[in-house]
Structure 1
Amino acid sequence: MKKFVIEDSFWSLFPNAKIGIVICNGIDNSIRNKEQYAEMISEAEKEALKYLQNAEFSNNSVIKVWREAFQKFKTKKGARSSIESLLKRVHNGNHIGTINPLVDIYNSSSLKYALPCGGEDIDKFVGDIRLTTAVGNEEFIPLGTDENSLPYEGEIVYKDDKGAICRCWNWREAVRTMLTEGTNNAFLCIELTDESRIVEFQNALNYLAKTVQNNLGGTSKISILDINNKKIVIE
């Protein structure tokens, strides 16, 4: 039985963080209506503009909080949070393309609520998955390349027994566990470091779970982890 565990090395850096998990089982992620998901993303892009009221992109609070978080651990040069990457595209007028339903749904959730969202295929995990600091020898093949790119020692990563599956907390994910049209069981996450946004965090989780279940079937279960609740069973 696989578990998701957040280790103390993470909590020592981010004691007030909350990690929201949506476990989706028995879903059908095969592409049916690309126009539907393109419209979903387009609407989310419009909603995301409310988080970018400051003309100086880096001065918007949803950007500042993640830049400050990334300063607390060693990161690859130029690495930014996934929500900054999405909002930067919106800020520059570049539309987010469709990939597959699960990714489109979590990108929409991310944009609507200005929080990092990500996802992995549970069936591709080797052993338990952990949010922790890297040793520095974890295998990591990022999307778009076939070269091993080891994380730095002390870098925040999601990893399993085979290697890292997401580097620099939520910056770049591995091809090995990525969501595909054939994914039936998914591990989706939303990350919060700003305690003042707990309502938006909860709303984002509810939107994510409901939208996946309504569109892809199966079941979706929400769990919230914090320093007092550090692990859950994911299958």
Structure 2
Amino acid sequence: MTAFIIDQQVSDLGIHAIAFVVNGITVPEESSPELDHYIETAEKALLASTDPKTLKTEPEFKVFRAVHAQLGKAARSEVAAPETLLRLLHRAGRLPRINPLVDIYNLVSAQTRLAFGSHDLTTITGDVRLAMTTGAEQFVPLGATEPVAVPTGEYAYLDDTEVLCRLEVRQCEKSKATAATTDALFIVHAGPGRDPVDLADARDRLAALLTEHLGARSPIDLETLA
């Protein structure tokens, strides 16, 4: 994989995204007390500063909904990942716990209101492209064993063989980050109107946490092509 390609049709929707690779990740079997404390403290701050009744009116989430509304009935009903994370936080009192790698980027996503994708680099075939769907793509969603239909006229992240993430909503099964992941591709995705600096800041925040808690090396930005 050498490049991250954003098709013009997606750019025209006002979507912004950056992609980068983080190597040398070591995912422990159990989260450390230090990481647990950091996440729990951040969750309390998020619970105190957000209201599930008004999440959909937050500017960062309104723009996701507005873009989805342009893409057809199926997309219109989908909620962007960071809003879903905050709703889960308010419902359960904590964010989902998957493994320390996933837990870290889920937290940063909830804090920044940006959508994060994480993919085991060893599973990616060719370059990664953010493009509009034709409906003929292969997509096996996270947790599934069989492919499902992809609506025509949405945007998705794809490698040379299949959909890696539908919209910024649901990732695929084949590239999910697991406890065995040592090298990961991360994508940070924003709706229209977000300052591109926000994406770089989120990358840096994530990278710092991965370095501190999982021993990862500095991120390597992928060349972005239009």
TM-score tier, shorter chain, comes to 0.7 to 0.9
Matched, 1:11 2:6: no
In 1, distance between residues paired with 2:195 and 2:43? 19
Superposed CA RMSD? 2.5
Task: Count the aligned residue pairs.
Answer: 225
In 2, distance between residues paired with 1:36 and 1:99? 17
Q: What is the aligned partner in structure 2 of residue 68 from structure 1?
A: 66
1:146-179, Cα deviation, whole Å (9 max, x unpaired): 1211211111100111110111x21111110000
Q: What is the aligned partner in structure 2 of residue 163 from structure 1?
A: 162
Unaligned runs of 5+ in 1: none
Instruction: Give, as a single letter, the amino acid of the residue that structure 2 aligns with 1:175.
Output: E
Q: What is the aligned partner in structure 1 of residue 79 from structure 2?
A: 80
Q: What is the aligned partner in structure 2 of residue 174 from structure 1?
A: 172
Instruction: Give, as a single letter, the amino acid of the residue that structure 2 aligns with 1:84.
Output: E
Shift of 1:197: 4.8
CA contact under 8 A between 1:24 and 1:185: conserved in structure 2? yes
Q: Look up the SS of the partner of 1:189 in the other structure.
A: strand
Instruction: Give, as a single letter, the amino acid of the residue that structure 2 aligns with 1:22.
Output: F
1:75-224 aligned at under 5 Å gives the runs: 75-76=74-75, 78-167=77-166, 169-195=167-193, 197-198=195-196, 200-221=198-219, 223=221
| Alpha-carbon spacing, 1:7–1:196, altered in 2? closer, same or farther (3 Å) | closer
CA contact under 8 A between 1:80 and 1:171: conserved in structure 2? yes
In 1, distance between residues paired with 2:49 and 2:202? 15
The equivalent position to 2:37 in structure 1, one of 36, 39, 45, is 39
| Alpha-carbon spacing, 1:109–1:222, altered in 2? closer, same or farther (3 Å) | farther
Shift of 1:80: 1.2
In 1, distance between residues paired with 2:19 and 2:109? 14
Instruction: Give, as a single letter, the amino acid of the residue that structure 2 aligns with 1:9.
Output: Q
Instruction: Give, as a single letter, the amino acid of the residue that structure 1 aligns with 2:114.
Output: L
In 2, distance between residues paired with 1:48 and 1:105? 15
TM-score by length of 1: 0.83
TM-score by length of 2: 0.86
CA contact under 8 A between 1:34 and 1:98: conserved in structure 2? no
Instruction: Give, as a single letter, the amino acid of the residue that structure 2 aligns with 1:12.
Output: D
CA contact under 8 A between 2:139 and 2:147: conserved in structure 1? yes
Percent identity reads 28
Question: Which range moved further: 26-35 or 116-125?
Answer: 26-35
CA contact under 8 A between 1:38 and 1:98: conserved in structure 2? no
In 2, distance between residues paired with 1:95 and 1:178? 21
Unaligned runs of 5+ in 2: none
